Structure 1
């Protein structure tokens, strides 16, 4: 079996196993919903350019997790309305086909390595997870 075919087979087998043991298997509508994972990172030392560069390095590595469909690494915009939160260092927003893909991301070795190697840089994270239809009519 060719290496790429074997890898694809193993990924599909892993996904099939997760679906079979997941409580989500009984909720097919949730498997078809787009999953968005949005994290705001707050550095311990927000004025430290080296820490900021290091966290950005880590986020770029994290973006290589194969389950991610789209990722955006952002900084606070210069907008200034009272309802806008601008006190974070980085915004990390990624899109997944469904919640199962996001669960695979949460346990992926790249994600585990990211937390292990970079968590010492932030004082807190705020996470917003949301689901919705893949297309809005």
Structure 2
């Protein structure tokens, strides 16, 4: 099966499965809400350049999940205000058309491989998910 056809099949199979078991099937409005997934990674050894490079490699691989509309990988900015948190190593923010697309991402083989192959590098992660009206442009 051609790679694009296989990917489309997996996406459609995931959508069909979610529609049959998800409470979202009864809430079509939520399919229209932009979903933002923002993760802050804290390395076990934040001063280890090799670990940092390895995690960055993994994040670039993770960005290939097809349901992601937009991704941003960042490091703490050089800003100084009392409300700014700067103790993380990387910020990973990605946008999805809706929560269903994000749920497909969570179970996608690339995401599962990322967790399996890179989780040993981080001490903790903080995840902030948000939804709201909007369009990805």
TM-score > 0.5 by shorter chain: yes
2:98 corresponds to which residue?
98
CA contact (8 A) 2:11 2:104 kept: no
Q: 1:8 offset after TM fit, Å?
A: 3.1
| Distance (Å, rounded) in 2 between the aligned partners of 1:123 and 1:45 | 8
* Partner SS, residue 127 of structure 2: strand
1:49 corresponds to which residue?
49
1:79-90 → structure 2 map (5 Å cutoff): 79-90=79-90
Q: 1:20 offset after TM fit, Å?
A: 2.5
RMSD over equivalenced CA pairs, Å: 1.6
Q: 1:9 offset after TM fit, Å?
A: 4.8
- Deviation string 1:86-137 (CA, Å, 9 cap, x unpaired) is 00000000000000000000000000100000000000000000001015xx
- The verdict on how the C-alpha distance between 1:24 and 1:47 changes in structure 2, with shifts beyond 3 A counting, is same
- TM (normalized to structure 1)? 0.91
- TM (normalized to structure 2)? 0.91
Listed as ranges, the gaps of 5+ residues in structure 2 are: none
2:30 corresponds to which residue?
30
Listed as ranges, the gaps of 5+ residues in structure 1 are: none
1:100-119 → structure 2 map (5 Å cutoff): 100-119=100-119
- The verdict on how the C-alpha distance between 1:129 and 1:20 changes in structure 2, with shifts beyond 3 A counting, is same
